[in-house]
Structure 1
Amino acid sequence: MIVDRIRVHPQLVHADDRDEWPWTVPCVGALLGAGVALPAPVTFLVGENGSGKSTLVEAVAEAFGLDSYGGRGGSRYASPREKSTLGERLHLDYTPHGLAMASGPRAKRRGFFLRAETAMGMMAEKQGWPGYWEERTDLMSHGEGFLTVFESMFQGPGFYVLDEPEAALSFTSSLRLVALLAELGRGGAQVICATHSPILASVPGAAVLEIGEHGIQQTRWQDLAIVDHWRRYLERPEAYLRHLL
């Protein structure tokens, strides 16, 4: 483990600002004070569109020093944007191992951030660079390119942040990513992943944090709303479609 809790010190957010975005987002508001524990090497954030998952994982990546555009730790920022409002205030409670990594030279800060929204541009730019992958991901399908990045960059004890990586993945490719994330968790790495995929969230031993109007709540995979909906839809799609068609 590298980080065991994420939080925002209340004194960093003025009372007048708490009625403004992003502090009005329930999962962001839940970070004020004691914040949220990360109890396992692999943690999934699961919730509906607009629940704040991407806002949260982007801020975690920024707080660790990863480029919000996407890329590996220790590299020069590609994004022209300043840190997000949440990212510049988010505090990571490091484990002793994580503190040694975070307090050392930037080049020793091992990790990677992949966000589906900017992944294709990042992959086209970074391919062939020193410390990245040699393969021509621009000549691959989206899914093949994503897997090439995962298998090249997600190696060894590091801090890996993903925002909806399932966007380009087939069922079989999703299973390959499940196996990789499980291996990382066993090998001393830490993963934080925002996802809509019940397949990815099924990594054995992972912590699942459900994001919603209630804020952030740890739950079991089998109790997730997305698991229940997918199971019922695959069994009887007409039960859903009759309300839409």
Structure 2
Amino acid sequence: MLIERAYAHPVSAPPDAWPWSVPCVRELLDEGLRFTAPVTFVVGENGSGKSTLVEAFAESFGLDPHGGSHDWRYASPRPRSPLGEHLRLDPTARGRRMMSSWSARKGFFLRAETALDALDREGVGPDSLSHGEGFLSAFRERSVRPGLYVMDEPEAALSFTSCLELIGHLDRLVANGGQVICATHSPLLTALPGADIIEVGDHGTRRVARADLALVDHWRRYLADPRSYLRHVLG
């Protein structure tokens, strides 16, 4: 592993100001968040703070908040997020060596809204491959390089089979010394053996076994009986 803890410095903003009003963000001020496995999945409902967290993790490591590789910067810089400005990372011994110089850092930030652009810069033209194929191709090339890989809902462009392929890439990546922090809604990805799963919500953060995840329970019940859910949304 490269990073073992994230925490935020105290801020002068009122506690009801965004993003400090988000429970999982507030916990970074009070307690910090420890990483206990090479792969960490952050799950929760829309608006729970998943993307806010992972973007700040990426920024603190030196990755462009637009998305992409550590050694690439957009010509028009995007301001750091309020959380990213105050977030600090505690590295492991190996992480300290990687973070000791700018050139030594290796990593990638995948965010859904800029993924096509980032992949195009990586030499995988979206005209020749689908979004999902392009992402997997680019990731396959990078899965041998140790570094910090931060992802915001990578399953958005992937089919069931492609999600399974991504799990295989993640497994090879950590075997080669990489670390992954991934926000996701996918019950497939969270099945990766040995991964740490952090559920965020009104409670803040808590570690949860995959079998106890609300998203897994909802998918299981929906697939067994779609009408039990659809009757609430269809006229």
Q: Same fold (TM over 0.5)?
A: yes
Q: What residue number does 1:116 align with?
A: 112
Residue correspondence of structure 1 range 147-226 to structure 2 within 5 A: 147-226=136-215
Deviates more, 1:78-87 or 1:59-68: 78-87
SS at match of 1:31: helix
Residue 225 (structure 1) shift: 0.3
Where do 1:1-245 residues align within 5 Å? 1-10=1-10, 13-14=11-12, 16-78=13-75, 80-104=77-101, 106-124=102-120, 126=121, 132-133=122-123, 135-245=124-234
Aligned-pair identity in percent equals 57
Q: For residue 139 of structure 1, give the secondary structure of its aligned residue in structure 2.
A: coil
CA contact (8 A) 2:119 2:125 kept: no
Task: Please name the residue that 1:129 is paired with.
Answer: none
Instruction: Name the amino acid aligned to 1:199.
Output: L
- The worse-fitting range, judged by mean Cα deviation, of 174-183 and 164-173 is 174-183
* Contact map agreement 2:68 2:108 (CA 8 A) in 1: yes
Q: Is the 8 A contact 2:109 2:151 kept in 1?
A: yes
Question: What TM-score, normalized by structure 2, do the two folds share?
Answer: 0.95
Deviation at 1:98, TM superposition (A): 0.4
Distance in 2 of aligned mates of 1:78 and 1:154: 27
| Distance across 2 between alignment mates of 1:79 and 1:53 | 25
Cα separation, partners in 2 of 1:191 and 1:78, compared to 1, 3 Å: farther
Asked if structure 2 preserves the Cα contact closer than 8 Å seen for 1:137 and 1:148, the reply is: no
Q: In structure 2, what is the Cα distance between the partners aligned to 1:53 and 1:138?
A: 31
Shift of 1:136: 2.6
**Contact 1:74–1:108 (Cα < 8 Å) also in 2:** no
CA distance in 2, matches of 1:225, 1:17: 31
How far apart, in 2, do the equivalents of 1:144 and 1:57 lie?
A: 23
Separation in 1 of the partners of 2:180 and 2:113? 19
Give the letter aligned to residue 158 of structure 1: G
> What's the CA shift string for 1:96-121, capped at 9, x where partnerless?
110111112x1221111110111112
CA deviations on 1:128-187 (whole Å, 9 max, x unpaired) are xxxx33x43332111111111211233322100000000000000000001111222222
CA contact (8 A) 1:67 1:78 kept: no
Report deviation, 1:243: 1.6
What are the superposed Cα offsets for residues 183-236 of structure 1, whole Å, 9 maximum, x if unpaired?
222221100000000101111100000010001111101110000000010011
Q: Give the conservation status (yes or no) of the 8 Å contact 1:138–1:145.
A: no
Structure 1: distance between partners of 2:163 and 2:76 = 28
Partner secondary structure for residue 119 of structure 1: helix
Number of residue equivalences = 234
- Give the TM-score, by structure 1 length: 0.91
Deviation at 1:122, TM superposition (A): 2.4
Q: Is the 8 A contact 2:63 2:108 kept in 1?
A: yes
Q: Cα RMSD between the aligned structures?
A: 1.3
Structure 1, gaps ≥5 residues long = 127-131
For 2:192 and 2:76, the matched residues in 1 are separated by: 31
